[in-house]
């Protein structure tokens, strides 16, 4: 009997947690299918409206930003290119460096690992200006390469791969 009560209580807590996460997302989505005037006058809506296609088409295809030349669709594409580029190159570089540290026998393997690991202590803010200077000197500003390359070296990923290989 105690086990059933504990299981029911656990499931109740989990269900409430799911509701806590899903309800705000649903309200935001449902409200996005209504006209702005309706939301301003009547507040957020639980039910779906009839403006889904119009509202999302406007959001995805309306030009905006500083230059008034970019759409949300282009922003999604840029985000995908950045995420895929950074993730794939980071995995390749980190796995190779961790493999070398673990399996190649050389005197500086441990100090080299700790040198890589210590870079975790350097905050991102400290690296911004030098990274920009390097990207600028290589004439990579306003390119995907200039955005991706400074972010591919990762002490965290190297550490995780090292732990996996050991």
Give tens-digit pLDDT for 123-150: 888 989 999 999 999 999 999 999 999 8
Give tens-digit pLDDT for 49-70: 899 999 999 888 888 777 788 8
Cα–Cα distances (Å) from 140 to 53, 93, 134, in that order, read: 38, 20, 9
Where do the structural domains in the chain lie, given as residue ranges?
A: 2-61, 72-165
């Amino acid at each position: 009997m105690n086990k059933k009560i504990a299981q029911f209580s656990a499931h109740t807590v989990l269900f409430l947690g799911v509701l806590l996460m899903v309800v705000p997302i649903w309200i935001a989505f449902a409200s996005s299918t209504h006209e702005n005037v309706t939301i301003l006058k009547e507040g957020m809506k639980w039910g779906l409206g009839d403006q889904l296609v119009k509202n999302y088409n406007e959001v995805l295809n309306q030009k905006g930003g500083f230059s008034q030349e970019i759409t949300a669709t282009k922003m999604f594409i840029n985000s995908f290119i950045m995420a895929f580029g950074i993730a794939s190159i980071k995995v390749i570089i980190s796995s190779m460096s961790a493999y070398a540290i673990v399996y190649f026998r050389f005197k500086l393997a441990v100090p080299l690992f700790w040198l890589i690991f210590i870079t975790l202590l350097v905050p991102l803010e400290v690296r911004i200006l030098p990274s920009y200077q390097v990207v600028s000197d290589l004439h990579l500003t306003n390119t995907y390469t200039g955005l991706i390359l400074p972010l591919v070296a990762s002490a965290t990923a190297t550490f995780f791969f090292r732990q996996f290989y050991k």
